[in-house]
Amino acid sequence: MSDCLFCGIVNGEIDANIVADDDHWVAFRDINPQAPTHILVIPKKHVATVNNLKAEDEVLVGELVRAAGQIANDEGIAEEGYRLVLNTNAGAGQSVFHIHLHLLGGRPLSWPAG
């Protein structure tokens, strides 16, 4: 069993409601949704936080963002608007230390975020 919860989802040890995936990323519904659409897009590669990204990860991060945009379209929230969030470290509320892009939408989203 992997030490990392999201690595466990990537390798199939832990169940998740997967909405899309490809060779480099997987997207699944957040278990504690904060909006009608709340999906996490994660790299299959383990990277703990944005602070740990390397130059070689630039394409991967682009893939995560592009996947989120495509999923927003598939979820029917692309036109009304949605938010992509990468919480980084405890001060920003990161609780799972495997980077994950939150895709939030389906309701009005106020700004600034809390």
In angstroms, the CA 39 to CA 31 distance is: 9
- Whose CA is closest to 35, among 74, 89, 84? 84
Instruction: Verify binding: residue 51, ligand AMP, rule CB under 6 A.
Output: no
Instruction: Verify binding: residue 104, ligand AMP, rule CB under 6 A.
Output: no
DSSP 8-state symbol, 109: -
Ordered DSSP codes for 34-99: SSSEEEEEEESS---SGGG--GGGHHHHHHHHHHHHHHHHHHT-TTT-EEEE---SGGGT--SSS-
Instruction: Verify binding: residue 59, ligand AMP, rule CB under 6 A.
Output: no
Annotated active-site residue 38? The verdict is no
* Residue 14: CB minimum distance to ligand AMP, A: 6
Instruction: Verify binding: residue 93, ligand AMP, rule CB under 6 A.
Output: yes
Which of the stretches 51-59, 63-71, 94-102, 105-113 binds ligand AMP when contact is defined by CB under 6 A? 94-102
In angstroms, the CA 28 to CA 45 distance is: 16
* Residue 16: CB minimum distance to ligand AMP, A: 5
User: In terms of CB distance, is 39 or 55 closer to ligand AMP?
Assistant: 39
Binding-residue pattern over the window 11 to 30 for ligand AMP, x denoting contact by CB under 6 A:
---x-x-----------x-x
User: Could you list the active site residues?
Assistant: 100
